Amino acid sequence: MDQLQPYLQQFNNYLGKFRTLKRIEKATGIPKTYFTLAVYFFTSVSVFFNVWAGFTTTALALIYPTYRAFEASYKDDTEALKVWTTYFWFVGLVQLLELKLDTILYYFPFYYVVKVVLLFGMFLPQYFGAKLLHDAVVPVLIPYFKNAEQAHNKTIPRASQILQHRLVLSVPYVANSADTRHFPRRGIHATTLKPEKLAPNQHKLVAVVLLTGAIVVIGDIVYFTYYHEPVAATLTPEDFKKFKLTEVIPLTHDTSLLRFAANLPQADSPAGMPVPSHVVVKDHTCQVARAYSPVTYARGHFDLLVKKYENGSVSRFLHDTPVGEFVEMRGPVVTLPYEPNAVADIGMIAGGTGITPLYQLIKRILRDPEDKTRVSLIFGNRSPADVLLFNELQIMASAKPDRLRVFLTVDSPADPRPNVGKWTGGVGVINRTMLKQHMPPSALGMDAAILVCGPDGLIQHVAGAKPNETDQGPLGGLLKELGYQDRQVFKF
């Protein structure tokens, strides 16, 4: 510490040049060196790590300039007030842009650093960019000011000027001097007076200011109470956050697509959101949670396919949630780390809503031009009316038949929906024949992977039981009979 004393003393001598710091030191008893270092440390941490950066930079933009503006007003320094007016106009413009462009600013992590440097350049005496801005802008506006003043003078009758002058003279006053003063633009001479109270025009000014302030306050209260939409939350794997349900689209008699507003700018990045992944939905009424795999991650929302089960508390809770309400969720939680081209072929076996994580992965594989992995899907359902994402799967398979093959099978081909053609897919539960025809052969070894997702009965029938979320359990079922190895199969 002793080695730092010469530097601290030198820094203290430098800070002694600033009257404001001397006043703070005298008022608080805190040495100006420590006070300055503390402010610098707090500001640096806040700005560089984006911890209350918006609040910190706004405080920096207002505290010192406000003090200097009041000081100029007290000293009746007209030139300084002109410059500070320009500065606060600039700060207001910056704050307005921040409110409207907060999503865009997400992509500029050093924005607040640039803002601090810009603010210092605007108000520090060494640079005083506000004066440069004032000198550049005001000359452009002078013609408009002159035109407005001329128009104003033409509209005021002579009688109104005389009446206003008499009203001023009617205010109680104390004589200040016997000198006379000429009123410009009116041609009227009057004794110089010192009003004891506000002049009528000053009363009007105060009334206008108070009325404007009241309107702004009431407007803010009404806006934030009834119209303001808060910025949507961002998904985080660790913490539950509230997401607004914005739309419900029924897909089948018991399954709906639920759209939730979210701020997910990373969804538009080349890497995108991690898939396959899921979010954990919490039913706050009974503190029960369940995992759902979104079928869509977009910048402003994500979509869940939710099937309603009579004995499923979370599924019933989601279906009963009205549009406009909020649901607590966290995520995305990666279900299976995926690496492009890790295997040549992926076989997928899905049942019901078990299609959702596999659908995520299919979209990711087909969207990546560098990923040459081939995908084969067997998707089983009770009836044609229960097949989820039917059109989406058919479109993707038709667009890239060399990369994706889809085989649909139903327990019963009867379709209760009107004007629907005859079922052309498979009929019956998933069996050995279907697996041998549509899945990559077990002989490919580690060049092939099989992913299974669906109800517990389907998983046990195809790949053996999965004891819990963290234990895959031994391979069994049809895949075991066909010669697949444990390391080739993953159960969701």
Q: Give the whole-angstrom CA distance, residue 205 versus residue 201.
A: 6
Q: Give the whole-angstrom CA distance, residue 415 versus residue 348.
A: 25
Do 367 and 403 form a contact (C-beta atoms < 8 A)?
A: no
Please list, in sequence order, all residues whose beta carbon lies within 8 angstroms of the beta carbon of residue 194, skipping any fewer than 6 positions away. 173, 174, 175, 176
How many angstroms separate the first and last alpha carbons of the chain? Answer: 59
Do 438 and 479 form a contact (C-beta atoms < 8 A)?
A: no
For 307-313, the CB contacts below 8 A with 24+ separation are 307/254, 307/255, 307/352, 307/353, 308/254, 308/255, 308/256, 313/283, 313/286, 313/288
**Pairing assessment for the beta strands 255-261 and 374-381 based on DSSP bridges:** unpaired
Q: Give the whole-angstrom CA distance, residue 363 versus residue 21.
A: 60
Binding residues: 290, 292, 305, 307, 314-315, 356
Binding residues for FAD: 290, 292, 305, 307, 314-315, 356
Residues in the chain: 492
The residue among 488, 462, 456 whose CA lies nearest residue 476 is: 462
Cα 108 to Cα 50, 158, 170, 238, 460, distances in angstroms: 11, 58, 61, 25, 49
Residue carrying structure tokens 């300084």: 80
